[in-house]
Amino acid sequence: MRRADEFCAAYGLKVPILMAPMAGACPPALAAAVMKAGGMGGCGALLMDPETIARWAADVRAKSDGPFQMNLWVPDPPPPPPRDAAREAAVADFLANWGPRPVDLSAELSISFADQCEALIDARPTAASSIMGLFPPETVDQLRARDIRWFATVTTVTEALEAERAGADAILAQGSEAGGHRGAFKADKAEAQPIGLVSLVPTICDAVSIPVIATGGLADARGLVAALALGASAVQIGTALLRAPEAALSPAWAEGIGQARPEDTTVTRAFSGRPGRALRTDYVAASERPDAPAPLPYPLQRSATGPMRAKGRQENDLAYIQAWAGQSASLARATAAGDIVASIWAEARATLGQ
Ligand SMILES: Cc1cc2nc3c(=O)[nH]c(=O)nc-3n(C[C@H](O)[C@H](O)[C@H](O)COP(=O)(O)O)c2cc1C
């Protein structure tokens, strides 16, 4: 509790709960609801251009004056992934069974990370969080100059030590239970080192001297109490908020989350080319068959699945939806986000005798 109290005091929080930044699933209304309940809002800005980043921050500020984080993916070092016409054609043929055949795979390559960083810094969030690597030193300097804290997502102790050395203010320890993309710095290691939160949090806490925020599979008071006992200063929750009305998720995805046992989720590259944890939908299962073509490298596979994902949203059909979900999906409650945050904290305090 002392660690949680200190973290809350440092970041202007009433509860040590952060909304996970979830690209494509973080409307301002969801962040504002979490902020009004005393937690930290979150924005996954991966797919946002500079104007959209500025608008998101303005929308949230119009609704609440609480703290929020904005998150960017650190791009892989050059060169960009090689193009392979034969492989791309095989993937396009496969995807033609799941919606309109993809034609243009270049769309997702066009957003500039440097422009996104500039817009994020101009938006002045409480914290900027990184995933898939570390912010470059010049970005770290710019954040510091504007008094924006840096939360670095890591999946191993080695990555946590690198982040601390590079100047991170807090570590976001992402366990392998987590919904959405795994934040491993090296894409090819992401599946090889799937470390669960019970091992990851205490070993990182022993290794670093900055606060650790636990994320992955935390969805109720039991998870929060466990994370604090393991040494975390706060928790970050993603999937647990996705059934809230403010998340405005496709109903089929929200329903799928409510029904999914841990074993109904799996880590797949089939949506984007980077591994992420999703519901094992019909498409995911089909992509695991031996005769299915291997996914293209990120972000080409994301472009390739664009038409299928659009069809899934339009038709509200889970088979075509990129249905990210963490292993504790079934603990997510279909109720207002503010109530979810408030009740997790109230129950945790009662458990802790506070
Ligand atoms: C729909 C969805 C989108 C996500 N997008 C991002 C993202 O853009 N950036 C990021 O750092 N993490 C992203 N994540 C991962 C979360 O930050 C966090 O690690 C994860 O939600 C924690 O696990 P949980 O879902 O079991 O709570 C996403 C997760 C989900 C479920």
Cβ of 179 less than 6 Å from ligand 1: yes
178 Cα to the center of ligand 1, angstroms: 7
* pLDDT value of residue 354: 87
Query: Which residues are CB-neighbours of 181 under 8 A, at least 6 positions away?
Result: 131, 132, 272, 274, 275, 276, 324
Alpha carbon of 266 to ligand 1 centroid (Å): 14
- Dihedral sign computed on CA atoms, order 32, 212, 183, 145: positive
Give the whole-angstrom CA distance, residue 276 versus residue 193: 13
Mutating to test ligand 1, I would choose from 17, 22, 174, 197 the residue with most ligand atoms within 8 A of its C-beta, which is: 22
Q: Is the pLDDT of residue 6 over 90?
A: yes
The Å distance, Cα 89 to ligand 1 centre, comes to: 30
* Listed residue (87, 86, 46, 53) closest to 68, CA to CA: 53
Q: What mean pLDDT do residues 42-49 have?
A: 96
Instruction: State the Cα–Cα distance between residues 199 and 212, nearest whole angstrom.
Output: 13
- What is the overall mean pLDDT for the chain? 96
Q: Per-residue pLDDT tens for 202-239?
A: 999 999 999 999 999 999 999 999 999 999 999 999 99
Measured in degrees and rounded to the nearest 5, phi and psi for residue 278 equal -140, 165
User: Is 200:349 a contact under the CB 8 Å cutoff?
Assistant: no
For the Cβ of 176 lying below 6 angstroms from any atom of ligand 1, the answer is: no
Does residue 188 have a pLDDT over 90? no
Q: Which two tokens stand for residue 307?
A: 């038409």
Calpha distance 264→16 (Å, rounded) = 29
> Which pLDDT score, from 0 to 100, does residue 81 have?
85
The reply to whether ligand 1 has any atom less than 6 angstroms from the CB of 321 is no
Furthest-apart CA pair in the chain: how many Å?
Answer: 62
User: Could you tell me the distance, in angstroms and rounded to a whole number, from the CA of residue 14 to the centre of ligand 1?
Assistant: 22
Taking 90 as the threshold, does the pLDDT of residue 106 lie above it?
A: no
Percent over 70 (pLDDT), the chain? 99
Pairing of β 212-215 and β 170-174: parallel
Domains of the chain in sequence order: 2-351 (3.20.20.70)
